[in-house]
Structure 1
Amino acid sequence: MKKALLAVALAATGLVAVQAPASAAVHPGDRVTRAGAASPAVTRAALDPALVAGRGASVDFAEQEAEKAATNGAVIGPDRTAYTLPAEASGRSAVKLTPGQYVEFTLPSAANAITVRYSIPDAPNGGGITAPLDVTVNGRDRATMTLTSQYAWLYNQYPFSNDPNAGLLHPDWWITECSCVPSATTPAPAITTPFRPSHFYDEQRLLLGHTYRAGDKVRLTVPSGSKAAWTVVDLLDSQLVGPPKVNVLAADVLAFGADPLGGRDSADAFDKAIAFAKRAHLKVYVPPGTYQVNRHIIVDRVTIEGAGNWYTIIKGRQVDLPTPAPDGSVHTGVGFYGKDASAGGSTDVHLSGFAIEGDVRERVDTDQVNGVGGAMSDSTVDGLYIHHTKVGLWFDGPMKNTRITNNVVADQIADGLNFHTGVTGSVVSNNVIRNTGDDALAMWSEKTADAGNTFDHNTIQTPVLANGIAIYGGTDNTVSGNLVADPIREGSAIHAGTRFGAEPFTGTLAIKDNTTVRAGTFELNWKIGLGAIWLYALEKSMDANVQVTGDNFLDNTYNAIMLVSDFGVKDLYSITNVHFKDIKVDGTGTSVVSARVKGSASFENVDARNVGAVGVNNCGSFNFPPTGSEFSVQDLGGNDGGGTTGPWLAAWELPNTITCDDRPPVVAPPAPSPW
């Protein structure tokens, strides 16, 4: 009876299982050899794992890039040009399949589950389509995934449109493509539609229903009848998922009327289970199943555990509100929220072991349609899978002492996580964040400083807009041990800036032992290349102690390091007290350091190679006084290596030689290699 109930609950998760014959079972001691079996190429952020050892999240899945697998389709890329399919792919390449074509991966280790990152076309008038993708293992054991583009494909200017045929959202805004303000241009320039398409990719998970062995072959085939003209496969993650977790000593939501088949809304049942658990001093348990929840679940002093995020899925529709909420929201949807900070916030909240599947398809900045939100002090969020919400986790403080660990946040319309306003003493560690529509991880010290927080050993891939990690003001915060790959446009891998009304930087900002790859993007508004790390004085000077230590900047599209002020405030604000030490730079399209601000920075034991332009592109604040640049470079020794123009830090550049080339030519660097 228990097995039957579990089977019903698992079916409710919507994770279609491949049915395997008993002969395919894995037995202890089995050895499998196959003639001609391809050696699987396992990567981390599309890199050899040896290049990023000790950096990023420790994960239980193996990443394989489609362009390194067997296929009869076409490899697209590499290309880093915004608004293209290759640019948004992991590693800037993918495989494009037409109906009848396949890509085949060789499992590197035992697995019973896969995640496929893909893109299919939008509908001609927007809104997305669905299309099948057949999955076979060793030529049999067929299942069909139903792919969708309903949560992808945004267009136009911020905050974007779902309509590929729309005209300009903001006719008075600067348009980089024509270097004009359309309303001030006669005749007004025409734009080609779709205008600025982006956010092409999505991902889908599949339980295979059986454990397969290393060397077995997973083939993804676009069936001949697919209505998708093409299907792009970017990567496949394979993993061995353990059995569902059971807790018989908890308040089970099924006992309070929750529907594990998702046929009716279970929000009230969750509320009842939470209220009972608090009275009885119990945890809340959510067994395997798919639970429909179409509003916020308010949590305070409660622990909610699922059976594991592959088994317990809490899924909701986005709901139109009849009138805007006091916070400006015009929609609601699934999410677990602490009480608002103005009401005292929540404490002692612990969420673990389930998936949150949202239904957010457009960006409405006033909407609270995030996976986790509100204020939660002395709390934990662990082992969630958060998908298709606006922001995975958006916390509005003041709040303190919260730990966000071991989560996967994917395919968001905006940020992955944001500590907003007075979040203190909190840690974000060992999370994977992929395909966000804004900063993947952010601390935003609006009104009240975020202080004493740490972003540590997270893996961030392909933020479509803005930055991998962004710190906007604050006191004594740390960014350490992270792996950040493939920011697409208008941002960097790691960014610190006096922007968005943030409180000033004070104390020490420590940026240490991180690795970035294929960063240093093209800033479309300024029409210049950024740095993998980007310090920006926009609204005030930056004079706090910024320590950048032990970081590796690999395969930088433009610069490794950029310090800049906006041109309109270049004589008002400066960047000082910045120290770079024990840094490795492997490959720059342009410079190691680009300085476009007044101020200074020191460099010690910064080793660089494959540098495409002058090592220090020193423009200062563009006044070009005869005394030299307004930005000074302090050489503390041990700065070695260089590239096409010689040593990256040459004596003639010190301390403030003007070496300004506003838009130097780009020399594509070779792929990173062991140092």
Structure 2
Amino acid sequence: MSRSITGAASSLPRRPTPPRRVAVTAAAVTATALGLTGFVGGTAFAGTAAHGSQGSHGQSASAASTPVVTRAALDPSLVTGRGATVGFAEQEAENAATNGTVIGTGTAAYTLPAEASGRKAVSLTPGQYVEFTLPSAANAITVRYSIPDAPNGGGITAPLNVSVNGQHNSTLTLTSQYAWLYNQYPFSNDPNAGLLQPDWWITECSCVPDQTTPTPVINTPFRPNHFYDEQRLLLGRTYKAGDKIRLAVPAGSDASATVIDLLDSQLVAAPHVDLLAANVLLFGADPTGRRDSADAIDKAIAFAKKTHLKVYIPPGTYQVNRHIIVDNVTIEGAGSWYTIIKGHQVTLSTPAPDGSIHTGVGFYGKDASAGGSTNVHLSGFAIEGDVRERIDTDQVNGIGGSLSNSTIDGLYIQHTKVGIWLDGPMTNLKITNNQIADQIADGINFHTGVTNSVISNNFIRNTGDDSIALWSEKTEDANNTIDHNTVQTPVLANGIAVYGGTDNTISNNLIADPIREGSAIQVGSRFGSEAFTGNLWITDNTTVRAGTYELNWNIGLGAIWFYALEKNIDANIQVTGDNFLDNTYNAIMLVTDFPVKDQFSITNVHFKDIKVDGTGTSVVSARSAGGATFQNVVARNVGAVGVNNCGSFNFTSAGSEFALTDLGGNTGGGTTGPWLAPWELPNTITCDDRPAVVVPPAPSPW
């Protein structure tokens, strides 16, 4: 796909969207320029950050004896009522006792601080540690970390000792085999590879390489990203509040630097037992993981359907290397910490009709073209895949197919391509109380005609594409609700994205630390989606450290951004009660792409009862024709002029083509005065896409 700059802005990339490939660039600055040199293959990380400082030593043990519990690296009081209710306590490593080095704050793409929760982490060399004080009783921990890649890619392993109160508990074997992608979409595991798409626009040289003579030299490793992974550990007994968990890198570790981002601690309940169910052990399943258990699980499902029983999978690790097809069945495990369904990615002898060249562990409903599946209920187990590369035609997702009148509850899904990717038409699915981590692509995607369904109280971290998406390709997604979810550190694309559809609701979510080519919330007419019709309600959400830099356009995005690329956006869109905190650039952005700026517009968007606490640049950036209304939008710590209004770049004598309507109560601002000043209304041209960035102070109570 050829990339070029036309006029004031280049075309944004098309988002990679499984299972069908959609071309995309992932343009950004080089790893060398951003201080990631040396971490691939093994020397200690020493980088630079886009904002703030890095390299400070951590707290002393006495300074960190009182645990600092956060949500999305913030004081929990700042996000009360927003996001998922989870069973664990989050503690950022930079707030713990350590003799290592705090890295960050940094927002520059392709650096370790930028992909860390809160944009900070702690780097440990062999012999160093970070120590957390438990805030409450716990018998299990999750560690989010990064270790270097192998010099030629493919990852390494390295030990991390876990001690409690000075007594060695166990040793985790960390791995970078599921991290470290490079290059342009669809990315490479080879840090030494040349350009994958030599005809795509490259920000680093402001060129299309195959149209440049001589072809520019691209430093390798080129655009390293997706650095972090996580591991869970049952401690074997319950420890009390005040006990100390020390993570220490032993001498002789193959990892020259071990970066610890955070620790989640929790008290996991005893295993769930169901004696009145079809137990997979009775059908030959192997809980040790040595033998493949797929056929045994199939037999248990067949028996349960005949006898109207549930299927029960007791504690253990069960090897499954293909799809388990589910329809009219309930499958429950002992809990996601106890029942692990784990599989390898397997190369197919011939490609499947849908284009897949691999299969892997996953629970799939029947395809919608075959009628789909119904009355499927999955709960209480983990799905752990082995996906290390992005191939969009591959069906290697944790949950797939079409599932109507069904529930997915209490699962932990890791290392698959997409955690849950559903292809409709389908209706009445509830996805609740799940954790999805470390995906190559999306976390959850409702694709094509998904209706009357709910995504609620899920925790999603470290996805390689949109963490939650409604994609109305060919058929509208309608009457769906995305409510009270927590999204952290999506590496590529957005926290929550809505591409077309009607009467959908995005409410009470907490979205933190989007990293590149996306932001916290996107409303987009793109990817061949159907038009927005009816209503879209975006209510009572909180975004944190969003409004990231768009590396193809070389401008800052909004924490929430509207993008009219293929059609007008003119449905009734109500953005009400949302809080946009610590925005790296803008809080709100409304934009069309330059080649279609005179074809499509954004209208009928209404902002009400909004709080904006900190922007690196403006509160509103308008790069489109159309208009929006604003009522009771309160802003403080605004870094630049309140409104950047370029309209559609025609700069007519009548003013900008984008009109702002002041319905009253719009107060606050920054050093330049009120954010919505009278002279900016209704459509004064105030076009400055690249003002000086003023790093806002940390969010605080209103």
Pairwise same-fold verdict (TM > 0.5): yes
Q: Hey, what does 2:45 align to over in structure 1?
A: none
Secondary structure of the corresponding residue to residue 269 of structure 1: helix
Secondary structure of the corresponding residue to residue 391 of structure 1: coil
Counterpart Cα distance in 2 of 1:35 and 1:330:
54
Counterpart Cα distance in 1 of 2:365 and 2:332:
16
Alignment of 1:338-353 (within 5 A): 338-353=365-380
Q: Percent identity?
A: 81
Paired AA for residue 689 in structure 2 = D
Q: Hey, what does 1:136 align to over in structure 2?
A: 163
Alignment of 1:532-551 (within 5 A): 532-551=559-578
Judge conservation of contact 1:37–1:215 (CA < 8 Å) in 2. Answer: no
Q: Deviations over 1:456-504 (max 9, x none)?
A: 0000000000000000000100000000000000001000110000000
Q: Hey, what does 1:650 align to over in structure 2?
A: 677
Say whether residues 1:294 and 2:321 are aligned partners. yes
Question: Displaced runs of 4+ in structure 1, greater than 2 A?
Answer: 34-37
Say whether residues 1:190 and 2:217 are aligned partners. yes
Could you tell me how far 1:662 is from its partner in structure 2?
A: 2.2
Q: Hey, what does 2:639 align to over in structure 1?
A: 612
Which of 115, 124, 137 is residue 151 of structure 2 equivalent to?
124
Alignment of 1:185-224 (within 5 A): 185-224=212-251
Q: Deviations over 1:591-630 (max 9, x none)?
A: 0000000000000000000000110110000000010100
Paired AA for residue 428 in structure 1 = I
Could you tell me how far 1:665 is from its partner in structure 2?
A: 1.1
Which of 81, 94, 102 is residue 75 of structure 1 equivalent to?
102
Alignment of 1:106-505 (within 5 A): 106-505=133-532
Q: Deviations over 1:295-337 (max 9, x none)?
A: 0000000000000000000000000001110000000000000
Secondary structure of the corresponding residue to residue 295 of structure 2: helix
Q: Hey, what does 2:46 align to over in structure 1?
A: none
Count of residues in Structure 1 that have an aligned counterpart in Structure 2: 642
Could you tell me how far 1:37 is from its partner in structure 2?
A: 7.2
Paired AA for residue 672 in structure 1 = P
Counterpart Cα distance in 2 of 1:562 and 1:36:
41
Counterpart Cα distance in 2 of 1:226 and 1:654:
61
Judge conservation of contact 1:356–1:386 (CA < 8 Å) in 2. Answer: yes
Which of 42, 63, 74 is residue 47 of structure 1 equivalent to?
74
Could you tell me how far 1:35 is from its partner in structure 2?
A: 8.8
Secondary structure of the corresponding residue to residue 652 of structure 1: helix
Counterpart Cα distance in 2 of 1:133 and 1:35:
23
Q: Hey, what does 1:9 align to over in structure 2?
A: none
Counterpart Cα distance in 2 of 1:345 and 1:73:
53
Could you tell me how far 1:74 is from its partner in structure 2?
A: 0.3
Secondary structure of the corresponding residue to residue 581 of structure 1: strand
Q: Hey, what does 1:31 align to over in structure 2?
A: none
Counterpart Cα distance in 2 of 1:286 and 1:386:
16
Could you tell me how far 1:663 is from its partner in structure 2?
A: 1.1
Say whether residues 1:522 and 2:552 are aligned partners. no
Counterpart Cα distance in 2 of 1:614 and 1:588:
10
Judge conservation of contact 2:64–2:96 (CA < 8 Å) in 1. Answer: no
Counterpart Cα distance in 1 of 2:284 and 2:640:
66
Q: Hey, what does 1:582 align to over in structure 2?
A: 609
Counterpart Cα distance in 2 of 1:85 and 1:324:
37
Paired AA for residue 467 in structure 1 = N
Counterpart Cα distance in 2 of 1:553 and 1:113:
33
Counterpart Cα distance in 1 of 2:535 and 2:383:
36
Say whether residues 1:508 and 2:535 are aligned partners. yes
Paired AA for residue 547 in structure 1 = Q
Q: Deviations over 1:223-258 (max 9, x none)?
A: 002111110000000000010000000000000000
Q: Hey, what does 2:25 align to over in structure 1?
A: none
Q: Hey, what does 2:132 align to over in structure 1?
A: 105
Alignment of 1:630-669 (within 5 A): 630-669=657-696
Could you tell me how far 1:175 is from its partner in structure 2?
A: 0.1
Could you tell me how far 1:36 is from its partner in structure 2?
A: 8.1
Secondary structure of the corresponding residue to residue 273 of structure 1: helix
Q: Hey, what does 1:5 align to over in structure 2?
A: none
TM-score in terms of structure 2 length = 0.91
1:356 and 1:632, CA in 2 relative to 1: closer, same or farther beyond 3 A?
same
Secondary structure of the corresponding residue to residue 363 of structure 1: coil
Could you tell me how far 1:387 is from its partner in structure 2?
A: 0.3
CA RMSD of aligned residues (A): 0.8
Counterpart Cα distance in 1 of 2:93 and 2:671:
33
Counterpart Cα distance in 1 of 2:188 and 2:139:
38
Judge conservation of contact 2:70–2:90 (CA < 8 Å) in 1. Answer: yes
Q: Hey, what does 2:93 align to over in structure 1?
A: 66
Counterpart Cα distance in 2 of 1:327 and 1:171:
28
1:37 and 1:416, CA in 2 relative to 1: closer, same or farther beyond 3 A?
closer
Could you tell me how far 1:128 is from its partner in structure 2?
A: 0.4
1:424 and 1:163, CA in 2 relative to 1: closer, same or farther beyond 3 A?
same
Gaps of 5+ in 2: 1-60
Q: Deviations over 1:66-104 (max 9, x none)?
A: 000000000000000000000000000000000000000
Judge conservation of contact 2:292–2:319 (CA < 8 Å) in 1. Answer: yes
Which of 612, 619, 627 is residue 592 of structure 1 equivalent to?
619
Counterpart Cα distance in 2 of 1:335 and 1:198:
26
Counterpart Cα distance in 2 of 1:150 and 1:607:
45
Q: Deviations over 1:341-369 (max 9, x none)?
A: 00000000000000000000000000000
Counterpart Cα distance in 2 of 1:296 and 1:527:
42
Judge conservation of contact 2:161–2:168 (CA < 8 Å) in 1. Answer: no
Q: Deviations over 1:273-309 (max 9, x none)?
A: 0000000000000000000000000000000000000
Paired AA for residue 92 in structure 2 = E
TM-score in terms of structure 1 length = 0.95
Counterpart Cα distance in 2 of 1:254 and 1:142:
31
Counterpart Cα distance in 1 of 2:537 and 2:62:
51
Could you tell me how far 1:664 is from its partner in structure 2?
A: 1.1
Counterpart Cα distance in 1 of 2:245 and 2:611:
38
